Structure 1
Amino acid sequence: MQQELFSPFLNNLEKLFKSKKDYDVIIKAGEDNDQKEIYAHSNILRCQSDYFDTAFSSNWAEKKDGKYIFKKPNVLPHIFEIIIRYFYCGQLDLNVKNGPDTLKLLVATDELGLNILSEYIQEFLIKNQKKFLQNDPIGILEVAFQHETFTMLRDYGLEAICEEPNILFGTDKILSLPAQILESLLKQDDLVLDEIEVWNNLIRWAHAQQPTVNKDPSEWTKDELILMERTLSRFIPLIRFHDITSEEYYDKVVPYDDLLPKKLKNEILKFHFVPQAKQIGSLPSRNAVNTIDSVLINSEHLAIFAGWIDKKDESLKMIPYEFNLILRASRDGNTAGAFHDKCDNKGATIIVVKIEETNQIVGGYNPLDWEGSDICKNTQDSFIFIFDNHRDINTGRIGRVTDASHALVCSNRWGPIFGNGHDLSMNCVGKWVSRGSSTYSYLGIPYDFANDDYEVFQVVKK
C-alpha cells in the first residue's frame, strides 16, 4: 500500500529531474571536451547532501545570473548524472555499470558526503563485481586508503592479498606500495606468507624508499643507518620473529640487526636459547584462520601436517582442515582410559607428543578412528612423524606406512598404537615406546620416553 503512495510522488520528482524546470543550479562536470552542464534545483540538492547544504549555506558557491555554479572537473558528467538522479527519485541502477565506472561513482559519493550510498556501492562491488576487484586488488586498496569511509573495500582488498600474497609480495609492485598499506598488511594475522618472506620483502621495500642507501648493510654510514631506522621503525614490531628459524635469522636478519631495538634482540636470543620461551612480543603467528588451541605446536605445524595428509612434500599455504583439540594430557589425564574416553568415535585424529625435557615432538596421524578392541586397521594414509626441534618446522620428518594392513592397532588397554610392532604407542599408564620400523619408515624415535605433555586433535575437512 505504501509503495502505491510513494510511486506518484517519486514519478513527479523524476519528471522534475528530466524537465529541469525552474532550475537554479548549474554543475559543470568533467573538463575540456568531456565537460557537460547538468541542471538541478538547490532545494533538492541541499536536502540530500551535506556537501551541497554547506555550499549553499556558506555562500562559497559561485553565483551568476541568479544561478549557483559548481565546477567539478574531477567527476565525469555521466557519473554526476547518476548521483543527481538518485537525489531526485532514489533510483540507482548499478547492474548496467562496469567496474571502473562503479568505482568512480563510489569516489564521487565520498566527496559529496553520501555515506549511506557509499556503503551500498561498496557492498555491490564486493558481491557483484569480484572479477574487477580481483584483477587489481592493489589498485583497489590504494583507492580505499585514500578515502576513510571505504572500510568495506579496504577490508576486501587486504583479505584478497592476504589469501594470495604473491599478487604483491615478491614482485616489483611492493616497491612503490604506500607505507600505510604495507603497515596494514603486516598487521594482518591471516597473511599466508612465511615470516622470513615478510622480512625479505620489507627490506626490499625499505631500500626502494631510500635508493641512495648502500645495499650492503655492513657498509652503512651512521647517517644511512639512521635513515633506514626511521624508514623501518614502524614495521619491525609487526614481524613475528618467533616464526623465523635460527638459520633464517642468521642468514637474513642478523646482517640488519642494527635496526632492531636492543630489547627485541634480547627477546630473540632468549627465544632461541631458552627452551621455555614460546614467543617474541605479543603478536601471534600468522594464518590466524588456522590458529590452534595448543601448548605444543603452532599454525606452521598445521601447514606441514596438512601437506602430509594430502601426500605433498611441502606445507600448504591454504589449509583445508580444521584441527580441533579433543585431549590434552595435562588437562584431561595421561592414561589409556582418558585417551579412549576423549578420542574414540571422533574420526581422523593427529597426535602430538613432546618428549620430556627435550625440544623434540613426535606423533602420528590416524585417518580412520580409534574405536575397537585388539584389532588392526588397514590404511595407506596414516603416518608417524618427528620434529627434532619443535620450534623449527624444517626439522620435521615423516614416516609413511610400509605395511598398510597393520597400520593402526586399537586396544582398550592401550592408548594410540601405530603399527603392529609398536612403531609408536602409549601404554596404559602413559609411557611411550617406539619399537622399531616394522610398519612405518624408520625415524629414529627414542625407544621409550616420558612426555612433558601430549595432545590429540580431531582433523575435519573444511
Structure 2
Amino acid sequence: MDDNKLLQKLSQNLLEVLSDDDYCDITIEVGDDPYVKIFRAHMVILNYRSTYLRRILSTNKKKNDGTLIQIKLPNILPEIFQIILNYIYGGRLSLEEYDTSDIIKILVSASELSLQELVDYIQSFLTKNKAVWMEQNFNLIYQTSFGKDSFLELQKYCTDLMSNNPNKIFKSLDFSATPENLLVSLIQSDNLQMNEVQVWDNVLKWGFAQNPGFPSDPSNFSKDDFNSLKNTLQQCVPFVRFYNLTSKEFFYNVVPYKKILPKKLYMDLLKTFLDPDSIPNDKPKPRKGANDNLLNQISITTSHYQISKNSFDYDLQKGEVSCAKAYKNPVSIKF
C-alpha cells in the first residue's frame, strides 16, 4: 500500500468521525437569520486545524455539565462552511466540482478562519485555471483580493492585469460596477491598447451605469442630467486624452457631451480641432497600441500614388509620419 492510499484511508476515517455525533463536544452556529445551520464538531480537531477557531475556543471554558460548547460564525454561509469543514477533517478539496463564484466564497471564508494553506491553494488554482473568468469578473476579483491582506497572489494578478492588459478590464462583465478610483487608475495607464475614442466611450458607459435613469440620447438630456453626469465623471475627465481624437471622433463623440466638460478644456479642444495651426502645449502622448491603430487608418493619396501603412516609418512622439520606402521624394506628414 503506497503513501497516497494510506492518506486516503486516514482522510476517509476522519470524515467518518465528523459524521459521528457520539464524540462531538462543540456546536457551531453558522450563518445569519434566516439562513442558519448548526454543525457538530470536535474541539481537538478544530483547535489544531484553525488558528482562528483556536483563539475562540481558548476563551470558552470546557463545560462539565454535559452541554456542548457553542460558537457562532455569522459571516459564513452554511453551505460554504460544510465544504470547509470537510476540508478541515479530511484534508482534501476538489475545486473542480464547484462554480468559480463559490470558490471565491470558499476563499474568503478560509481566510476568515485563518486556513492559510487553503487560501494559498485556492489562489493558485484560480490564477492557473480561471484566468478568463477572472478577467470577465474583474471587479469582484479586485474587491476581493484587496479586501484581505492574505490574498497576495490575487493582488499580484490584479496589479499585473491593470499594468499590462488594462483594456481587458473594460470588457469585463461587471465593468459598470468598477469603483471610481480603479477606473481613474485605468484611464491614466499608457498601456491601454485601444483608441482614445474607445476610452471615452467606456468612461461614458460607466457614467451612464451610475445614473440608470438617463435617456440614451444626449440630445434628450435635461440640464440636471448633464450636471449629474458631469459630477459623476469629474474625476475621470482630466485623464481622457481628448487631443488624441480625430476631428470626426471629437465632433460625433465629444461635442454632444460638451456640457460635462470644463469650459476651458472644451474651448481649447474646439480651437485645436478647428484650427489646423493650433498645437496644444500639453498634448498627451498616445497610449501603447495606438501606433498600429493610427497606421491602420492612414491612407494618403498623392498625385501619383496611393500610400499604405507599410510604406511608413513613424515617430508618434514627434507627431510625424514619413514615407521611407520605394519613393524618390519621401513625404512627411505632420499631425
Greater Cα radius of gyration, structure 1 or 2: 1
Counterpart amino acid of residue 155 in structure 2: T
1:351 aligns with 313
2:253 aligns with 252
Secondary structure at the counterpart of residue 313 of structure 2: strand
Compare 212-221 and 66-75 and name the one that shifted more: 212-221
Answer yes or no: is 1:151 the counterpart of 2:152.
no
CA RMSD of aligned residues (A): 4.9
Aligned-residue offset at 1:67? 1.8
* CA–CA distance in structure 2, aligned partners of residues 238 and 24 of structure 1: 60
2:63 aligns with none
> Compared with structure 1, are the counterparts of its residues 229 and 157 closer, same or farther at alpha carbon in structure 2 (3 Å cutoff)?
same
Q: Trace 1:259-408 onto structure 2 (pairs within 5 A).
A: 259-261=260-262, 264=265, 268=269, 274-275=278-279, 277=281, 279-280=283-284, 285-287=286-288, 299-305=289-295, 351-352=313-314, 361-364=321-324
2:228 aligns with 227
* Residue deviations 1:229-263 (CA, integer Å, cap 9, x gap): 32112222332223222332243223434433467
> Compared with structure 1, are the counterparts of its residues 230 and 100 closer, same or farther at alpha carbon in structure 2 (3 Å cutoff)?
closer
> Compared with structure 1, are the counterparts of its residues 352 and 151 closer, same or farther at alpha carbon in structure 2 (3 Å cutoff)?
closer
1:103 aligns with 104
* Residue deviations 1:172-212 (CA, integer Å, cap 9, x gap): x7556554664454355433332212212322432343345
Secondary structure at the counterpart of residue 197 of structure 2: helix
Counterpart amino acid of residue 167 in structure 2: C
Counterpart amino acid of residue 186 in structure 1: I
* CA–CA distance in structure 1, aligned partners of residues 233 and 175 of structure 2: 15
1:206 aligns with 207
* CA–CA distance in structure 2, aligned partners of residues 191 and 353 of structure 1: 19
2:40 aligns with 39
> Compared with structure 1, are the counterparts of its residues 360 and 104 closer, same or farther at alpha carbon in structure 2 (3 Å cutoff)?
closer
* Residue deviations 1:347-398 (CA, integer Å, cap 9, x gap): x9963379xxx9652124xxxxxxxxxxxxxxxxxxxxxxxxxxxxxxxxxx
Secondary structure at the counterpart of residue 286 of structure 1: coil
> Compared with structure 1, are the counterparts of its residues 206 and 95 closer, same or farther at alpha carbon in structure 2 (3 Å cutoff)?
closer
> Compared with structure 1, are the counterparts of its residues 38 and 140 closer, same or farther at alpha carbon in structure 2 (3 Å cutoff)?
farther
* CA–CA distance in structure 1, aligned partners of residues 263 and 286 of structure 2: 22
2:69 aligns with 67
State whether residues 28 and 36 of structure 1, in contact with CA within 8 Å, keep that contact through their aligned partners in structure 2: yes
* CA–CA distance in structure 2, aligned partners of residues 188 and 19 of structure 1: 54
State whether residues 27 and 70 of structure 2, in contact with CA within 8 Å, keep that contact through their aligned partners in structure 1: yes
TM-score (norm. length: structure 2)? 0.64
Compare 98-107 and 191-200 and name the one that shifted more: 98-107
1:380 aligns with none
* CA–CA distance in structure 1, aligned partners of residues 177 and 221 of structure 2: 25
User: Of 125, 139, 142, which residue of structure 1 is paired with 2:140?
Assistant: 142
State whether residues 51 and 114 of structure 2, in contact with CA within 8 Å, keep that contact through their aligned partners in structure 1: yes
Q: Which runs of 5+ in 1 are unaligned?
A: 288-298, 309-313, 316-347, 365-417, 425-432, 435-444, 453-462
Aligned-residue offset at 1:124? 0.7
Secondary structure at the counterpart of residue 142 of structure 1: helix
> Compared with structure 1, are the counterparts of its residues 156 and 96 closer, same or farther at alpha carbon in structure 2 (3 Å cutoff)?
farther
Answer yes or no: is 1:192 the counterpart of 2:193.
yes
> Compared with structure 1, are the counterparts of its residues 262 and 113 closer, same or farther at alpha carbon in structure 2 (3 Å cutoff)?
farther
* CA–CA distance in structure 2, aligned partners of residues 99 and 352 of structure 1: 45
State whether residues 142 and 181 of structure 1, in contact with CA within 8 Å, keep that contact through their aligned partners in structure 2: no
2:303 aligns with none
State whether residues 26 and 69 of structure 2, in contact with CA within 8 Å, keep that contact through their aligned partners in structure 1: yes
Aligned-residue offset at 1:278? 6.2
User: Of 162, 171, 182, which residue of structure 1 is paired with 2:167?
Assistant: 162
2:302 aligns with none
> Compared with structure 1, are the counterparts of its residues 124 and 152 closer, same or farther at alpha carbon in structure 2 (3 Å cutoff)?
farther
Counterpart amino acid of residue 108 in structure 1: S
Compare 30-39 and 66-75 and name the one that shifted more: 30-39
State whether residues 50 and 112 of structure 1, in contact with CA within 8 Å, keep that contact through their aligned partners in structure 2: yes
> Compared with structure 1, are the counterparts of its residues 123 and 196 closer, same or farther at alpha carbon in structure 2 (3 Å cutoff)?
same
Counterpart amino acid of residue 151 in structure 1: Q
Counterpart amino acid of residue 301 in structure 1: N
Counterpart amino acid of residue 361 in structure 1: V
Aligned-residue offset at 1:36? 5.9
Q: Which runs of 5+ in 2 are unaligned?
A: 61-65, 299-307
* CA–CA distance in structure 1, aligned partners of residues 141 and 243 of structure 2: 34
* CA–CA distance in structure 1, aligned partners of residues 287 and 222 of structure 2: 32
State whether residues 213 and 220 of structure 1, in contact with CA within 8 Å, keep that contact through their aligned partners in structure 2: no
> Compared with structure 1, are the counterparts of its residues 205 and 102 closer, same or farther at alpha carbon in structure 2 (3 Å cutoff)?
closer
1:413 aligns with none
Aligned-residue offset at 1:145? 1.6
Aligned-residue offset at 1:26? 2.2
> Compared with structure 1, are the counterparts of its residues 156 and 52 closer, same or farther at alpha carbon in structure 2 (3 Å cutoff)?
farther
Secondary structure at the counterpart of residue 208 of structure 2: helix
2:301 aligns with none
Aligned-residue offset at 1:122? 2.2
TM-score (norm. length: structure 1)? 0.50
Answer yes or no: is 1:19 the counterpart of 2:17.
yes
